[in-house]
Homo-oligomer: A and B are copies of this chain.
């Protein structure tokens, strides 16, 4: 492929994280430097912005705001949950994308997201290639779920993990002040992979963590759960902290939350979860006749940029830069991934590229051998894996004692 010259478009997709904007900053700042890239566009609300020609001109943004993006949580361009149909069934959207790309001479397409978004990226890449339109397509990983295939870890995970571990340490101190029994059930995000819930063990590593940890990788049974809680309750003076993944299911594949509420479904057909903590709290209250508190980390765990991991922020920025560097070198149809390389026993993170077809829709779960025998706690192997990722304190600059977040000008590109 001869080197392509043209505009670049970048979009954000899926649930936001604390560092998805750090990747945006990396893409933008690198793209603005590249001679082959004539224009740098941000797509409003991901793929929808492309379909609707809703682009922001990133050249109009200041260096200061682009730098502030590194510590600004959530998706500054707006995100989307929009499922492209299989092109063999309905290629309307793909044709429209091709039309828009041609119109704006878009030759570089960067898409930042998780499993579903990489599937979207892959389908677009294959369609463009098939149609003969020369365009570099590059995926940038992102997910607090840490479940993308082919990468040691995913940008966004470590900052959410640092939020989870730090907050549980604080809750641990709070939940033990009275000399009466108290059970605390903390619900943590993660649809099918328990990586984020597993991070709660880092608080235990610091001596102030959960007693029991339940991941969706292990089929859940209420009987064993109550037995587990009883054992801790009896040996630790009635003080129990449970970290629980929202994605835990029983052997019939039924979510715990379904026992308490009817589930609605999002655009991808995934069940919208939440509520497991209050369901379990009710059951435990009835069983143990003591104070039980159900806590849901809700949106806070994925947008807590004030307790971000500097390692995560730096790597997310780097992932964005690397995507652009690889793209202008002529590589297409790949996603940037991370390889852990130990140098003199010290953690380093090296970028690598993996084929989009390999990553799309493949979920990476927590290895079962990293769980203890009772499958209700994590071993030191997990701690060795996760601890290097949460090193370094990242937070936004504070003005008036509060975060100063980026506020992009979002100058619209005139429609063609």
On whether A171 and B405 interact (CB within 8 A), knowing A78-B177, A179-B80, the answer reads no
Residue A356 interfacial (CB < 8 Å):
no
A70 at the interface (CB under 8 A from B): no
Nearest chain B residue, comparing its CB with the CB of A165: B402
Name the CB-closest residue of B to A282.
B261
Q: Which residues of B contact A403 (CB under 8 A)?
A: 166, 169-170, 206
Taking a contact as CB atoms closer than 8 A, the residue among B178, B391, B401 that contacts A391 in the complex is B401
Instruction: State the copy count for this chain.
Output: 2
Which B residues touch A364, using CB under 8 A?
A: none
User: B residues within 8 A CB of A393?
Assistant: 395, 398, 401
A123 close to B (CB within 8 Å): no
The CA of A319 and the CA of B382, in the complex, are separated in Å by 43
A402 to B300, Cβ gap below 8 A? Answer: no
A177, B295: Cβ atoms under 8 Å? no
Q: Of residues 391 to 412 in A, which have CB atoms within 8 Å of B's CB atoms? A: 391-393, 395, 398-405, 407
Of the candidates B299, B309, B395, B401, the one whose C-beta lies within 8 Å of that of A293 is B299
Instruction: Decide: A72 and B407 in contact? CB cutoff 8 A.
Output: no
Residue count of chain A within 8 Å CB distance of chain B:
64
Cβ–Cβ contact A391 & B400, under 8 A: yes
* A73 interface neighbour in B73, B173, B202, Cβ under 8 Å: B173
Q: B171 near A299 (CB under 8 angstroms)?
A: yes
CB of A210 within 8 A of chain B?
no
A297 to B68, CA, bound (A): 27
- The answer to whether residues A401 and B162 also contact, given A170-B300, A170-B304 and a CB cut-off of 8 A, is yes
Binding site for B on A (CB under 8 A): 12, 16, 44-45, 48, 72-75, 78-81, 162, 165-167, 169-171, 173-179, 184, 202-203, 205-208, 278, 293, 295-296, 298-300, 302-307, 309, 311, 387, 390-393, 395, 398-405, 407
